[in-house]
Amino acid sequence: MPWSRSGERPGAQGLARSNSSTEDGSIIWWTFQTANFDPLNGVCRMGPILEAAMINAWAITTRDNKRGEKDCDIVFKPAAVRVRDAYKAGYSEFGNGLSYPENRDDFLKKIDMMAGGLDLFAYFGHGFNTQLGGHILTKDDIGKLADALKPKMKPGSSIVFYSCLAGSAGGLTTMLLDRIGLGVWIYGHTTSEHSFKNPSVSEVHNGDGPKFKMLNTLFGPSLQAAWAESLARTDLWLRFPLMQHADIIKELNAIRLVGTWSVPGGGKYIFEWPIKNGTYATDESLCVNPNGTVRDASGKTGTWEMDDELVLSWGGASKEFWVMPINPDGQRMKSAAGVAKRIARGKYGSVQG
């Protein structure tokens, strides 16, 4: 289902959900039905059923280490396996160590052997502004790569290059976009850093607004550090190509929330976020509102959830609401005069590689 990265998900008005499963109980797809409120009659009228198919993904990685290095063994292959396991995805390795153009041909052959109807294609390997390693070297090679990928991708799907520089302005990702079409979204790095922890990510898409955008600028200056932290300590790096911008921003705000805060009246709140690496079957599973626990200095415990605003629930009808975005230096609280301030960082997630 091709969603706008900045728009609302289908069925945002309300959902009635049922599962369709095989005889052994494994889910094939989810069906959602929109519930539209009719203010004249005070009832919900069920809209057309929307089917949210299982995410179909494929990860492909270089097979051979650079001479004297272990780049494939330490970074590229393990990361591609992470994508495979997170999405129950397809997985391929190709012979990048072969001489050119045999390495190019093996790469394209492995793409040709992939399943079709992909929601996500993820590449792991070295890159340059208009090249991939030593196997995609020329404009003609980029055309061949686009022609190989196009029949494999769904309209509105995502392609991501976890490689250096391939997302540079006017570079490989833009050249692929112009040839593939299909309304795809393509992501790549604009600098030379770690394969998937590099925060310098560009997004190219033929739709509303500029074709080329730096993804981190869409989040605003206050969330730059949180964006880098999220890639290093959560599995957002393998989810963001399929997520809406609004849902990414919720997670970045959650990172800023974790820790100990002083609140008006001399109290303290401690926020914890038990985020873990996950597996993801549907688009809905990628975009769960961040939530966790909160306790005050007296030991009272509650829960929090990050949505259009931060909601703290202390049991029963007792709730507090904090204005977004989260500001550690002076956070506005709708339920109290004054501001809250973060006085100590907390721990969350785990090192990603």
Ranges of each domain in the chain: 15-53, 57-219, 252-345
Checking if the pLDDT of 39 tops 80, the result is no
* Residues forming beta bridges with residue 340, ordered by sequence position: 331
Instruction: Give residue 5's pLDDT.
Output: 63
Which class is domain 57-219? Answer: alpha beta
* Phi and psi torsions of 311, nearest 5°: -115, 120
CA-to-CA distance for 60 and 135, rounded, in angstroms?
14
230-270 confidence digits (pLDDT tens): 999 999 999 999 999 999 999 999 999 999 999 998 999 99
Instruction: Please state the pTM of the whole predicted model.
Output: 0.84
Checking if the pLDDT of 31 tops 60, the result is no
Checking if the pLDDT of 26 tops 60, the result is no
Q: What percent of the chain has pLDDT over 90?
A: 75
Which residues contact residue 260 at a Cβ distance below 8 angstroms, ignoring those fewer than 6 apart?
268, 269, 270, 271, 342, 343, 344, 346
Which residues contact residue 325 at a Cβ distance below 8 angstroms, ignoring those fewer than 6 apart?
220, 222, 223, 249, 253, 256
Mean pLDDT over 31-37 rounds to: 36
101-141 confidence digits (pLDDT tens): 999 999 999 999 999 999 999 999 999 999 999 999 999 99
